[in-house]
Chain A
Amino acid sequence: MTKTSTSVLERARAALSRRSGILLIAALLLLWEASARSGLIVSENWPPVSIILLALIREILSGELIEVIGPTLYRFVLGYVIGISAGAIVGFTFARVPLVRRMFEPVIELLRPIPAPALIPPLVLFLGVDDLMKVTIIAVTAFFPVAINTMQGASGVEPTYLAVARTFRTRATRILMRIVVPSTLPYVLAGMRISLALALVVTVVSEMIAGSSGVGYYLVLMQYAVRSAEMYAAIFVLAALGALLNAGFVAVERRLIFWYAPQA
């Protein structure tokens, strides 16, 4: 496969090959529509997809949804960038400096299983109910997968490579750039990809705690206003946003570790 062949033709083929996945989603949505329309499932919490799509269009045209997504995106990006940067640094440090790992890993592992809703009293005590609290929760969430994966990757560097490099008296920076980083990077990126969706989830959850902006607030407000079509419309947007972010991430990932995923 030469570089030139990955042209328009290749891309078109790639787009077409996704057809089966999109068909599956369409089939599931049709099933949803049918189950709600046929009277099989009667509930205020299960509107037909067509009603949801109408609500979606209405809320987009009125500008309501755009207004709702802005703050969510802002908090997400801020928290995510802080979290993954800290995660990569900490994970790498832990793998390379065992004493630091032994000092701080227990604290991190103790904090990891505690969900944000359990910590509302201390969170509002120290961080308030505004962006500081929300961004912190997001950053902490994005932190763990990256830190764990980075640690796993950086401590899994093939010892033989390092030994060979040392035998040839390779400079430390060169070992880092040529051996350690390339073998760690796939792990770091896998962690970052997991964090991406998790951070988006937690952004929304943090907005459910308090405050009057963002998708999380909108979801709860619409649910309590008996407007579940609008609620699902926001969920659809969230799903699309997450998939889009992920697709963008995968594109970047492919460039960064082009040697890694041969079947991609």
Chain B
Amino acid sequence: MVRSRRKFLLGCTAAIAASAVAGRGRAQTLTKIRVGTIPIVDAAPLMIGISKGFFRQEGLEVDTTPAPGGAALLPSLAAGQFNFAFANTTSALLAIGEGLEFKFVTAGCSTAAQGPDLAGLMARIDGGINSGKDLAGKRLAVNNRNNIMWIRAAAWIDRTGGESERVSFVEIPFPQMVDALVSNQVDAAMVNEPFLTVGLQNHGDRVKVVSWPMSGTAPNGVVSEYLATKDYIAKNPQIVESFARAFAHGTDWVLKNKGTAEWEQAVSAYTKIAPERLRGIALPVYDRVIEPQKIQDMIDLMHKYKILKAKLNVAELIHPTALKQYTF
């Protein structure tokens, strides 16, 4: 009796092991992971990678949880609600500096080498704002303080003859920025796409793009990455590897198809932005790997603006999967 039962159990174990080996990519052996993301154009490699089945090929079933504001993503990652999360580099480094134990597991996007890129500094045509110097004592809208847009805007002000400490930063959500600019609520705004293009279409006679602070102060500078907790990476190295591989596959597809009708459809499917609105807007540069020096540059910038106090060692922040060139 006992013997036959043990035999049965052994048989079961063997069968499960066999199916796990043979069925890589099959539905029953998929590992479920949860990724926190923001439904924007920047997230294309992940979202398209999922819809094209690249993650399934690597044995992953991805459940994405969009956090429209992005504010909940990193705390949720730290709390273990997500296995991976998307974040802008500045906020991610800020979190790490404050003791949250994250590492970069894949690259995200960068800005272009020069403008137009994914966000521009807009002002009223008759407002007399042409450089950082003109912004002294004026109001500049940013979506959040202490993030990538804010720090690049501050850097641009200081580089073009102004003093960022003398500018008052007003937090306004992206969709409201052009309204606030047109109605004299603010004197300038760091507006991202697609709101920049739409704003120029509706109010081209009143507002203009003054400059492109993102690429202007840091050509090809980092914008975003994907992160996981150190704890999760240590316990699930294989899943992290599979995630990075599938993600790289998605990036690969995006780089090859960017701008095509199929791309427009795929991005529109998850952002809900009308395909024709995607035509002609400036896109981020999708990175295959993280360049550690660019992260270091951001750390230096954050030290300069005193929002980061901790000394961070770049090498320790980047998991090897973010440096690997995957080929397909």
Contact = CB atoms under 8 A, between A and B. Distances in A.
A and B pair up: yes
Nearest to B273: A225
Contacts of B199: 44
B273 A226 contact: yes
A211 B273 CA distance: 19
A143 B130 CA distance: 53
B131 interface: no
A36 B229 CA distance: 49
Name which of A45, A120, A129, A227 has the most chain B CB atoms within 10 A of its CB.
A129
B81 A124 contact: yes
B72 A124 contact: yes
Interface residues of A, number: 26
Interface stretch (B61-69, B118-126, B234-242, B250-258): B61-69
B9 interface: no
Interface in A109-140: 117, 120-121, 124-125, 128-129
B67 A210 contact: yes
Given A44-B198, A129-B76, A226-B194, A221 B274 contact: no
B285 to A, nearest CB: 21
Contacts of B174: 224
A116 to B, nearest CB: 11
Contacts of B69: 208-209, 220
B75 interface: yes
Contacts of A120: 71-72, 75
Contact of B272 (A45, A209, A227): A227
Nearest to A43: B179
A226 B72 contact: no
A42 interface: yes
Given A42-B202, A223-B175, A224-B174, A209 B67 contact: yes
Given A42-B203, A211-B67, 6 more contacts: A124-B76, A129-B36, A209-B72, A210-B36, A210-B67, A221-B272
